[in-house]
Structures are given as C-alpha cells and as structure tokens.
Chain A
C-alpha cells in the first residue's frame, strides 16, 4: 500500500482527534473515515482546535496525511500494517501549518536526531474470540505497526522515538514512544 509520508512544520501543537460519540468501532480509523471523525466532533472541540494561535511554537512533526479537504489537516504517525488503519490521529488548522514536505524511506543507517520510520511486532488482545486451541492459533496473530518520528535515543534495551519536535529549542521533544529493542524489525531513515 502506498501511503505518503510528510514533514509538517507547525505554528502550534496539533490536537488528538478521537472517535465521535456513538462511533461504532475502535479507536483506530481507516483513511476514508478520518474526515467523518472531524465532521462529527462536538462543537466545543472544533472551536478549541480552530482557536486563533497566540504564539509561534515553531514545531515539526512527521505523519501520513489522512485528509486535507476542509480547513484542517488530519494526520497520523501511527499505522497498523495488516489492518491499514491509523491510530493516535491528530488535527491542525491549515492556517497553523507553515509547510508540508513529502519524505521518502531510505536504506541509509539512521542516526540519533534523524527522522525515521520504525516498524515493530506488537502484542495484541483478542477479547471476544472463543475457540479450540487450533482455532485460536490460526486466528490470533501479532500485529505490525509503523511509527513516524525522530530517533532520540537507542540503547541495548530500547528504541526511543518522539513525534513532535521543537525547532526553536534544539533537543526538546514531545510524544515519545519506547519500543523493546527485540521487537523492532526495521528502522528506516526518512529523507
């Protein structure tokens, strides 16, 4: 599946976009449904997102753009490979986006500070499935997730990535994830 990767420079932090009330399904979304999450959000949340910025926070993030048809950009840095669904979906008014630049995966070795795409094998729970040992072994598999961000540290135990970077204040990040090193399958540098 071809999913574009973009570097977004922002004037203010984005907001997490959650499923609207009465949304049937999980907290992950297919690309085509992302706009509906925004469109059906409650008015208080929409007003909060669209509120005029007071300062330039000078931020940068990396994500897959799910929708930009209206006055906002909806994006996510977190992708379920097998399900083709996105989690931790974020939204930012277009007026608060400085620039958007497409990036690509490279095979160059990633260094601390680089923009990266990390793929790992993730545990999962199948809460409602019932079956014999044979049935459940056939059905219940781990999932693979990719996450876009900045490689901020790598140790013998884990890989640290952050998805929001402060450009003005070098070395300051937000939205950090720590993956056990043994579950990480790939780290692609993004160019």
Chain B
C-alpha cells in the first residue's frame, strides 16, 4: 500500500497516539482505521490534542500521512508494508499545523539535510513454538520504510535520520540510527 509522504510545518510538537490497548506500545495495525484509536482514546488525552498551544515553534517534519480530518493530522515516520504495521504514530491538532506539502521521490542528489525515504531490514523475532521448518516459513523480514532528514554524511557507515528540524535554531531532534549494512535503498524526496 502506497502512503502519501509529506513535509509538515508545525507550531508545536505532536503527541504520540497509542492504541487503546494496554501494553501495545506505539505500533499500530493499519488493518484497523487509525481513527478507531483516536475515537477510543482516553478523554484526557483527546483534550490535550486540542489544548491551546503555549509556544510558537517553527518545526518541520517528514512523515507518512495516515489520516487528515478538519481537526487533526495523524502521521507516522516508519511503516512496514509487509505486516501492515505503523511505527511511531503521532497526532497533532490542525491548529498547530502551518502547512502540509506532499513530497515524492526525486533525482536530487543525496546530501545532508535532505528529506529521504529509506528501505531497510531490522532484526525481528517471534515467540511461536514449532519445528525449525515452520519457524523459518513464518519468520520473514519486514518490508520496512522510514522517512526523515538525512543528517549523516551520505556515504557514512551509519545512517542518521532526524524526524524534526527546528527552523529557528537549526537543530534536529528524534534521531534514528541505522547501520548502513542493513539499508537496501535510499530515495531523496522533494
């Protein structure tokens, strides 16, 4: 499933949207509508989303857009297209969004600061009991994609992807560190 990728300009940082199931972490099964998670969230959490912001930041993020309503934007920065799981899901009030601009793979050369989409392989596990044959059949690598701003040198042994940039200070935040050895493809987005 292809998801829209966008550059989102924000006045404030988003909140983490968690499934309304204790212990489910921040990974969401996209076979369920993400609106379900919001509609079943704790009322206190919902009121925090729409609370008036106390600061005016100039932040920007690159993300997969999951849901956009008249009130909120729900997005995530990593997605597994194989098992249909979303990772690091965030929600922000429309009041705190300056603008959203769709970006797509381009032929711009890889350089520090550009938004990128990275396909890579993570270590995975399962707890199932079975024969070696069945375990191997069941356990396959995820088709994992992450988006962010490249902040490592393009040819570095380790890939650093930052989720946010603060345009006032020029500082980045929320960094994923991925060994180059497990990266399959890097696409520059524009």
A residues within 8 Å of B by Cβ?
A: 120-133, 135-137, 140-142, 152-153, 157-158, 160, 162, 166, 171-180, 182-183
Contact = CB atoms under 8 A, between A and B. Distances in A.
Interface string B124-139: 1111111110011001
Given A137-B152, A137-B160, A162 B172 contact: no
B172 A136 contact: yes
Interface string B164-183: 00100011111111110110
Interface of B: 88, 112-113, 120-132, 135-136, 139, 141, 151-152, 158, 160, 162, 166, 170-179, 181-182
A125 B136 contact: no
Contacts of B172: 130-133, 136
A184 to B, nearest CB: 9
Given A160-B132, A178-B123, A180-B122, 11 more contacts: A123-B182, A124-B176, A126-B174, A131-B172, A136-B175, A140-B175, A173-B130, A176-B126, A176-B135, A178-B125, A179-B123
A120 B121 CA distance: 13
Given A133-B151, A172-B129, A180-B121, A123 B135 contact: no
A178 B174 contact: no
Nearest to A120: B123
Contacts of B124: 177-178
B125 to A, nearest CB: 4
Contacts of A162: 135
A191 B77 CA distance: 43
Nearest to B178: A123
A179 B182 CA distance: 10
Nearest to A133: B151
A126 B175 contact: yes
Contacts of B175: 125-126, 129, 136, 140
B166 A175 contact: no
Contacts of A128: 173-174
A125 B135 contact: no
Interface of A is mostly: strand
A72 B78 CA distance: 39
Nearest to A139: B175
B138 to A, nearest CB: 9
A142 to B, nearest CB: 5
Contacts of A173: 129-130, 132, 135
A174 B160 CA distance: 34
Contacts of B132: 152-153, 160, 171, 173
Nearest to A145: B123
Interface pairs A-B: 6 shortest CB-CB: A182-B181, A130-B173, A177-B125, A174-B129, A180-B121, A126-B175
Nearest to B166: A130
A124 B146 CA distance: 13
A131 B162 CA distance: 10
B143 to A, nearest CB: 13
B158 A141 contact: yes
A145 to B, nearest CB: 8
B179 A125 contact: no
Nearest to B149: A133
Contacts of A141: 158, 177
A159 B71 CA distance: 46
Given A125-B176, A141-B177, A182-B182, A132 B170 contact: yes
B131 A178 contact: no
A122 B176 CA distance: 11
A157 B141 contact: yes
